[in-house]
Amino acid sequence: MIHWRLIDTGPLDGPANMAVDEALLACFNPELSRPVLRLYGWEPPAISLGRFQLAGDVLDLERCAASGIPVVRRVTGGGAIFHAEELTYAIVCAPHQIPPAVSVKDSFRVLTGFLLRFYGKLGLESRYAADCLPAGARLGERTPFCFAGMESCDVLIGGKKIGGNAQRRLKNVIFQHGSIPIVNRAAEGANFLRHPPARIGEVAGALRDFGERRSAGELKRLMAAAFAESFPGVVTPESLTAEEGAAAASRACGAFAGC
């Protein structure tokens, strides 16, 4: 039986959030560590860049600075995300701690499956983009803004992409995190791009768009329940270890994406 650690760090600022994600990944030993589900939020709002993006190429940094929007870098790839009123998760595990997957794409489905169960608990019908878009629809196109693009394993509700998920693999370690917008602020976030995508409100969705009004605390409770039902084992609430806390503190000042 797999024993998962549930770590709810609550809302943190952008550098602190990315530092905790980095610390959880750095401190994870695939042979000895128990897998982790982390839940968190963002306060104040921030923009995270994919690990290969250059801030000056993607963002209007003067507008970000004038609006007090921190810019940080994720350990995963993908496009920029504006993090505001949302619920965010991170998973750190070894491949042998989750159901078998025949490929990286298959593991992505395995690790995002709990999201579909979570949306089901909210009374919302969700499907992967590859399973519901019409034949010939363009998937996998790289975009500077995460919510403007569509990958095969992106989750759709009512035809709109809700949040984004990204994965990174090290030797025998899988790290994945994703965002679940509660309030739709995609158009606001797009205004910080050098080239804002058109009609972003038509393709990006959030829980409030679909009538969901539960508190963030209740949403986290339902997400943890959906996760426990999706992955056989025990999910136990815990805090960061002393080692993880120290590792996060040492990384916080380096989480800004200055170039």
For the segment 74-103, the average pLDDT, to the nearest whole number, is 93
> Does residue 33 belong to any structural domain of this protein?
yes
Residue 55 lies in a domain: yes
The answer to the question of residue 99 being in a domain is: yes
Indicate whether 202 belongs to any domain: yes
Specify if 42 maps to a domain: yes
Average of pLDDT values for 179-183? 96
Give the model's pLDDT for residue 144.
65
Is the residue at 259 inside a domain?
Answer: no
Choosing from 27, 64, 93, 146, which is the catalytic residue? 146
> Residue 216 belongs to a domain with what CATH number?
3.30.930.10
How many domains does the chain fold into?
Answer: 1
Question: How would you label 126-135 residue by residue, b for 16+ Cβ within 10 Å and e otherwise?
Answer: bebbbeebee
* Per-residue DSSP letter, 199: T
**Tokens 């990384």 sit at which residue?**
251
Q: Cα(59)–Cα(143) distance, rounded to whole angstroms?
A: 13
pLDDT of 110 above 80? yes
- Model confidence pLDDT, tens digit, residues 206-255: 999 999 999 999 999 999 999 999 998 899 999 999 999 999 999 986 65
Active site residue 93: no
State the Cα–Cα distance between residues 145 and 97, nearest whole angstrom.
Answer: 32
Model confidence, pTM? 0.92
At residue 136, the pLDDT reads: 56
Dig out the tokens for 51 from the structure.
Answer: 């690990």
Domain hosting 226: range is 3-254
User: For residue 117, is it within any domain?
Assistant: yes
pLDDT at 55 exceeding the cut of 60: yes
Q: Which helix (H) or strand (E) holds 238?
A: strand 234-238
Render pLDDT for 25-37 as a digit per residue (tens, 0 to 9).
999 999 999 999 9
Q: What is the pLDDT of residues 191-207, one digit of tens each?
A: 999 988 877 877 899 99
Tokens of 238: 């815990």
